[in-house]
Amino acid sequence: MEPLGPSDPPRVSTYTLLNRLGSGGMGRVYLARSQGGRLAAVKVIHAHISDDPRFRRRFRREIEAARTVSGHYTAPVIDADPDADPPWLATAFIDAPDLGAVVSAEGPHPPAAVLALAAALAEALEAIHAAGLVHRDLKPSNILCAPDGPRVIDFGIVRAPDHTEITQGLLGTPAYMSPEQADGRPAGPPSDIFSLGGVLYFAATGRPPFGTGPLRPLMARVANAVPDLTDVSPALHTLIGTCLAKDPQARPTATTLLKTLAAEPEPPPTAEPEPPITRHRTRRSRAALAGVIVLAAALVVIVLERRDDPWSVDDVQSSPVVAGGLVYVSHSDGTAAYDARTGRRRWFSPGADQYVTAVRDGMLIAGGARSMSGLQATTGTRRWHVPTAERYCGHLIPGGPIVLKEPSASDLKVSVLNPSTGARTWTKVLPKANCAAQAGANDTTRVNVPDETGMVSYALASGKSWRFTEETQNATSDATNVYILTEKNRLHARDAETGRPRWEAALPSTSTTDPHPSLTVTGSTVYALAEDGVHAFDTASGKRRWRLPLPWVSGGFMHRDGTTAYVVQRGAYTVSAVDLNTGRRLWHRQWEIDTEVIAAGETLYLTSEDDRFLRRDVHRLTAVDPRTGKERWRDDMEVKGLATTGTAAYAVDQKGTLKALDANTGRPLTD
C-alpha cells in the first residue's frame, strides 16, 4: 500500500481515495471509503485503454457478469460506472495479504494445507463457472489469504467464454497461463483449472511450475513443457498433474475436483517440524476434511465438531428467513445459510448491505442499498442482480412475483419482477406517491398504491390500472374486489378489474388522529381491525356480519388457517383470540407490560417491553398455546427479528445474535 501521488484523483464518484493498493496493465487500484464509511477496492482504468470504444463495451459486459458471481471464496463487485471518464469498478475490500506474499515470507505450504487451499479455490471457480464466466487470470497475487478463507479477486478480465472481442494484448499472467491462452486459442473453464494447478504448484514449492524469464521462452514452456514435480509431495502429484494437463479435456472440472478432494484421505504426517503459527489462515470448504481446517501459513489444525452445544450465529443484520430446512440471515459482509437443525453453515455469499427477505421457487430474494438480488437457495450462487433506487421498498406476492417500489423526489416507480429471473414484467410511474403504503397480505392479483389524492390499483399480471379518488388509509384485495378504507372511515368495495363501486360501509370514528385500521380478507369475509374492535363484512354485499368491541386495539395477527385473529389491546395490556367465523372471543390474557403479536401458527409468539426509569428495561419473548392462551415458555430477550417453523423459533436479539429455540420448551436447539 502506498500514499496517493500528485496524479491520483482525490475521489472517484462517491468514493474518497485513501491509498494506492497496486496497479496493472488495465488500471490502478485504490483503497477507498464510501459515503457510509465502508472500505472498498476501486479500480480506475487507464485512459489509453478506456478511450477504445471496444473496451468500453467489453468492460460494461464484464461488470454485469462479475455482479452475478457469488460464493464464500470470491470478492463481490459492489459498485461500478463503465460510462465514467475514466471508467471504474469497486469491489469489497479484503484486508489480507495475497498468497504470493504469504509464500514468499513463510515458505511453501505442507501437503494438507495445499489440499485445503485447492478445495477452497475449486469452490470459488465452481461459482465463477456456474455463472457462465471464465476468470482467465488466476494467480497468487489474485488470491487473498483472509482469516476466514481465501478470496479470489480481480475480475478485470473476466468475460463470458463466447465473447470474442477482447482488448489487444495477452489476457492473463504468462507464468500461470494455460497452453490455450499462450497459443491464442479459445480459453474456457478448463483454462482456469490449469491456472489453479500452477497456483497449487507455487503454494507447494514457492515457485511457478514453468519458471520465469523472457516472455517467448516462457510461453513455449507453458505450451509444451512437462512440469517438474520433483519438489512436490507425492500426495499432491495426481492433483497438480491432472490440473496441469496440456489437453483441456483431460483436466477435471471444479465440481469434479471438489468431489475428489472430499473422498481423499488426509496425507500422512511428516517428521519435519512445524513452522510457527502466523495470522494468515485459510479455512477449507465443504470438500477436503471432516472438520474445519485452518491453514496458519504452514500449519493445519483440525477443529473437531462440537456436540450438544446450543447453536447460535453472531453479526446478524436482519430478520431471518426459514425455508427448506435452512435458516437464511444477513451479515455485515454477506448472506449465509445455516442448517435449521444443527446451525452448521451451508454456504456464504459475500456482499455488504444485503438483506434476506423471502424464498420463492428455489430463489432467496435479498435486497441491498441500491440493488436486489436472487440467490440460489441451496448454494448461494447469485442468479440475478437488479439495480434499484438507493432507497426502495417491496414485497413478495404470496405465490406470485415481487412488487418493487422506487421513490424519487417527485414520483414513485412501481415494477413487478419475476423472482426466478429478476426480469421486470412491467413498470409504471406514479406521481406524488411514496413507499409508505404497502399492499395487504392477501393481495395476490392487484398492486394497490395510495398517493396524495387517492389510490391507484394495478393488475398484477398486466399493469392495467384504475384510480380511486378519496384519501386512503388502507387497502387490500381478493380475486373479485378491492377493499379500500378511507380517511373518513368508510369501507369501499370496488370491482377488482374495472374499479366500479360494489358497496360501502361505515366504521365508527375514532378519537385518535392516526388509527390506521388494518384490513384482511379471508374467504367471503373482509375484516377490519379498528381502534374500537374487530369488524366483519360480507365481501359480496357489504353487510356487517358481526362486531366485537375491543377498546384500544392497536394491532392484530391472523391465524395461518384463517379461522382466528389474535389482537392486542395496548391500553388494557391484553391479547385476545377471536373466532373469525362467529366474532366470539375465545380467550384473553393480560400482560403486565406492553405486548405485541409477532407470529402465529402452531405456536403464538409475543414480544413485550417495559422501558424503566433508572432501572433495567424489561424485554421478553413469550410462546403461547394458540388454542388456550396458556404460556408455554418465556425468554428474557429483546427481539429484533423472528422466523418460525412448527418445531422451532429463530430469534435475533438486540446484539445481533441469532438463537434457535425449541417451540414447545424454549430450550436452545443444539448441534
Catalytically active residues are 137
Q: Which residue has the cell 377471536?
A: 578
Please indicate if the annotation marks 428 as binding a ligand. Answer: no
* Spatial distance between the Cα atoms of 476 and 558, rounded to a whole number of angstroms: 14
Q: Is the dihedral of CA 332, 335, 340, 343 positive or negative?
A: negative
* Spatial distance between the Cα atoms of 136 and 186, rounded to a whole number of angstroms: 11
Q: What are 276-283's contacts with CB under 8 Å, separation 24+?
A: 278/106, 279/147, 280/96, 280/97, 280/102, 280/106, 280/145, 281/145, 281/147, 281/148, 282/113, 282/116, 282/117, 282/120, 282/145, 282/146, 282/149, 282/150, 283/116, 283/120, 283/148, 283/149
Per DSSP (E only), the strands in 340-408 are 345-350, 354-360, 363-368, 371-376, 382-387, 393-396, 402-407
577: Cβ contacts below 8 Å, ≥ 6 apart:
564, 565, 566, 585, 586, 587, 588, 626, 629
First-to-last CA distance in the chain? 43
SS3 state at 270: coil
* Spatial distance between the Cα atoms of 464 and 479, rounded to a whole number of angstroms: 15
* Spatial distance between the Cα atoms of 490 and 501, rounded to a whole number of angstroms: 13
- The β-bridge partners of 492 are 484, 504
Cβ(565)–Cβ(572) under 8 Å? Answer: no
DSSP calls for 615-636: S--EEEEEEE-TTT--EEEEE-
609: Cβ contacts below 8 Å, ≥ 6 apart:
593, 594, 617, 618, 619, 620, 638
User: b or e along 25-45 (b: 16 or more beta carbons within 10 Å of the residue's beta carbon)?
Assistant: ebbbbbbbbbeeebbbbbbbb
* Spatial distance between the Cα atoms of 632 and 636, rounded to a whole number of angstroms: 14
428: Cβ contacts below 8 Å, ≥ 6 apart:
413, 414, 415, 458, 463, 465
Cβ(505)–Cβ(542) under 8 Å? Answer: yes
Q: Which residues are annotated as a binding site for ATP?
A: 43
Q: Which residues are annotated as a binding site?
A: 43
